[in-house]
Structure 1
Amino acid sequence: MLHAHHDVQCLHDPLLLVLSYLVSVLGAFTALQLAIAIPAARTAAQRLRAVLMAGTAMGGGGIWAMHFIAMLACQMGIAVTYDLTLTVLSAFIAIASCALGLGVAGTGRFGWSKLLAAGLFMGLGVAGMHYTGMAAMRMPAEIHYHTGIVAASIGIAIVASIAALWLAFNLRGWAQMLGSALVMGVAVCGMHYTGMYAASFVRNGQDVLQATAGGIGGAHLGAGIFGITTLLLAAALVMATLRRHRRAAAAI
């Protein structure tokens, strides 16, 4: 994928592109598995825990980790580091908006108006996460955005969120969930790359060391985030499966 952006071009590293898609699918699949516990919750505390766990899997694993790995996949030929505070904030926005969307859509009777409201919140949160993550970039260049493409990326985020929430509460069975996770992965990546396409990077003549000072960076950051996120999501999946088996055994 090559974007001819003035004097800074973004060439995507194919391995990190694949990893970003895989982590978004795994995050979506884990979130769908965990979301089953939201309508099944008997107490407010159980529901809150289920919402937070599914929201963290979807927002932190499926969306934020995908986004950050895909950002690192963009090789621009200039030094880039990331502001830690803004990067953490972008992760928090993703998790909070997904938890909010799942909480709204999964509580009480399932209805279209509720689904649309929850999807709107979540989609705006996902878009907010993306552009906060972009703002975290420290580099000797400025970002200019194409307004129309930014609007399209926000639209994609909202539609993808509505679809994700519908699937979360209307699907049962591994094969269906895996299929929908694969589709959600495409939607999440579509939003990210549309958002990236909206950006042009223009060198501003700033000193490289000054521009990138104090940010986090490194050659293996993408693979590292992929590894850690995958382990956490796998652990959450195992826990959810064990809990479901225990509950089923107790019900007999």
Structure 2
Amino acid sequence: MTRFHYFHLLISQPTHPFRDPRALVHYIWCRVIMPVDALHISQHWDAATIILSYVISVTGSFCTIQLMEQWRFEQRPRKKRLFLFIAAVVLGGGGIWSMHFTGMNALQIRLENGEALSIDFEAWLTILSFILAVGGVLVGLLIASRDPFFLELEREKRAQLLAANLRKMNMTQLMKKESAERNIRFTAMFSRLWRICFGGIWTALGVLGMHYTGMLAQRTNLSMTVMAPFVVLSCIVAFVTANAAFWIIFRLLPLWPSNESLRFVSALIMGIAVSGTHYSGMAAAAYEYSPINTADTASFVVKGSSASTVASHGSLLFCFWISGFYVIRPLRAVASKFYVLHPGSTVHSDGATVGPNPSQSGREASETGRSNADQTGPRFQSAQNRTGEGSLSPSAAAVAAYRAKRKTPSTNMQQIMPN
């Protein structure tokens, strides 16, 4: 039974069912040798494995968010290329590909007599699926990372970008705070999204190619048919969720850079997007028992249980190692350098410094003076918050730039968007 036999049957069945000799064997086995009742199979989903696959996708998404923030503030071209490639491996390989094979192992197929069928994978198609996932995400990140709003770090340049998109607003609307707030936020989040959408399309194509290549890599006593409506549904889910994930990374998070809870929620949403694409694609597959084990015809087979274990544990360890090496280690290096320059000082989690350290000076904390938030020192917040920007919010700066362009007197406005 060739791996594409049932795809062929979907198109040309059943005028010539014996055109393929293996189809003849399957027909005789199903209709003559084995009773029909013994061919019934049942599918069960393991809840623990499904939860594990979701945790893998969330971990990969959160690590990718951190890496792209580091990429954004990195000035060296070689290091930027390295960050982008690692982010593609983490999201495409760790968050998507590993989640895919872990999720496939959650499907348990049993015969009517209770015998469980072991599902193996052809190694070469499995490797190809990994390349498709990483390649699609890499191309998508290359395109989406050129988004001008994501690239511009200085608040003044962001203000110019926003002001360029506010020309349709008249001065009456601009003078109204609530109206200006709505228009500026909408402009900052939804204007000129073609790079993000184009990058999301490439990523979705890579994910879909990875998913269906991985399903074709299955080797067991089963033949698979694909139901077209669910294939269309999985494609729609992939394109929508990929663009939503990129919009979160490249537009939503830069607007609220100091909100750590938003990062975690964004990773949860991206995990749902990855899992939704996978399980909607799995719903497109219908299995039927086959007397021929396709694992016997493969040149190189990977055991399904082993592949799932390596993918799940390896991806989690890889994501944690990458986060520690490329995100936490630079912060620790900055802290060590600051401590050498300012011995006895301590740095709070909000970036404020207190010195000298009461434990070293032998004085009470109340005697050391109040915190000096404006004192030079590293801020242990996300990289998005270490921009050296002033107190003026991007929206207020955009209004100021627009008014200056129109040569109208500016008025004081409170912050409209959070830093």
> What TM-score results when the alignment is normalised by the length of structure 2?
0.55
Aligned to 2:135: 96
Aligned to 1:204: 290
Q: Is the counterpart of residue 150 in structure 1 residue 231 in structure 2?
A: yes
Q: Is the counterpart of residue 33 in structure 1 residue 119 in structure 2?
A: no
**Stretch of structure 1 that moved more, 240-249 or 85-94:** 240-249
Give the secondary structure class of the aligned counterpart of 2:133: helix
Aligned to 1:3: none
Q: For residues 120-135 of structure 1, what are the structure 2 equivalents within 5 Å?
A: 120-135=201-216
Q: CA deviation at 1:231?
A: 0.8
Q: Distance in 2 between matches of 1:72 and 1:223?
A: 9
User: Which residue of 129, 152, 162 corresponds with 2:243?
Assistant: 162
Q: CA deviation at 1:213?
A: 7.3
User: Which residue of 56, 67, 73 corresponds with 1:23?
Assistant: 56
Q: Is the counterpart of residue 112 in structure 1 residue 151 in structure 2?
A: no
1:15-34 deviation per Cα after TM superposition (whole angstroms, max 9, x unaligned) = 21111010000000001110
Q: Distance in 2 between matches of 1:102 and 1:220?
A: 31
Q: CA deviation at 1:158?
A: 1.2
Asked if structure 1 preserves the Cα contact closer than 8 Å seen for 2:95 and 2:315, the reply is no
Q: For residues 36-47 of structure 1, what are the structure 2 equivalents within 5 Å?
A: 36-47=69-80
Q: CA deviation at 1:64?
A: 0.6
Give the secondary structure class of the aligned counterpart of 2:291: coil
Q: Is the counterpart of residue 82 in structure 1 residue 121 in structure 2?
A: yes
**Which structure 2 segments of 5+ residues have no match?**
1-38, 111-116, 150-191, 339-375, 378-419
Query: Who wins on radius of gyration, i.e. which is larger?
Result: 2
Q: CA deviation at 1:247?
A: 6.4
Q: Distance in 2 between matches of 1:63 and 1:120?
A: 15
Q: Distance in 1 between matches of 2:293 and 2:87?
A: 43
Q: CA deviation at 1:71?
A: 0.6
| Change in 2 beyond 3 A, CA 1:17/1:150 | same
Q: CA deviation at 1:146?
A: 1.0
Q: Distance in 2 between matches of 1:208 and 1:158?
A: 32
Asked if structure 2 preserves the Cα contact closer than 8 Å seen for 1:140 and 1:212, the reply is no
* AA aligned opposite 2:270: M
**Which structure 1 segments of 5+ residues have no match?**
1-5
Provide the aligned length of Structure 1 versus Structure 2: 247
Q: CA deviation at 1:230?
A: 0.9
Q: CA deviation at 1:102?
A: 1.1
User: Which residue of 63, 71, 87 corresponds with 2:104?
Assistant: 71
| Change in 2 beyond 3 A, CA 1:160/1:108 | closer
| Change in 2 beyond 3 A, CA 1:157/1:175 | same
> What TM-score results when the alignment is normalised by the length of structure 1?
0.89
Larger relative helix fraction: 1
Q: Distance in 2 between matches of 1:212 and 1:202?
A: 20
The Cα RMSD (Å) is 2.3
| Change in 2 beyond 3 A, CA 1:181/1:132 | same
Give the secondary structure class of the aligned counterpart of 1:205: coil
Asked if structure 2 preserves the Cα contact closer than 8 Å seen for 1:16 and 1:223, the reply is no
Q: Matched residues, percent identical?
A: 29
Q: For residues 174-185 of structure 1, what are the structure 2 equivalents within 5 Å?
A: 174-185=260-271
**Runs ≥4 residues deviating over 3 A:** 6-9, 211-214, 218-221, 246-252
Q: Distance in 2 between matches of 1:217 and 1:138?
A: 9
Aligned to 2:44: 11
Aligned to 2:314: 228
Aligned to 1:191: 277
Q: CA deviation at 1:10?
A: 2.6
Asked if structure 2 preserves the Cα contact closer than 8 Å seen for 1:146 and 1:199, the reply is yes
Asked if structure 1 preserves the Cα contact closer than 8 Å seen for 2:147 and 2:195, the reply is no
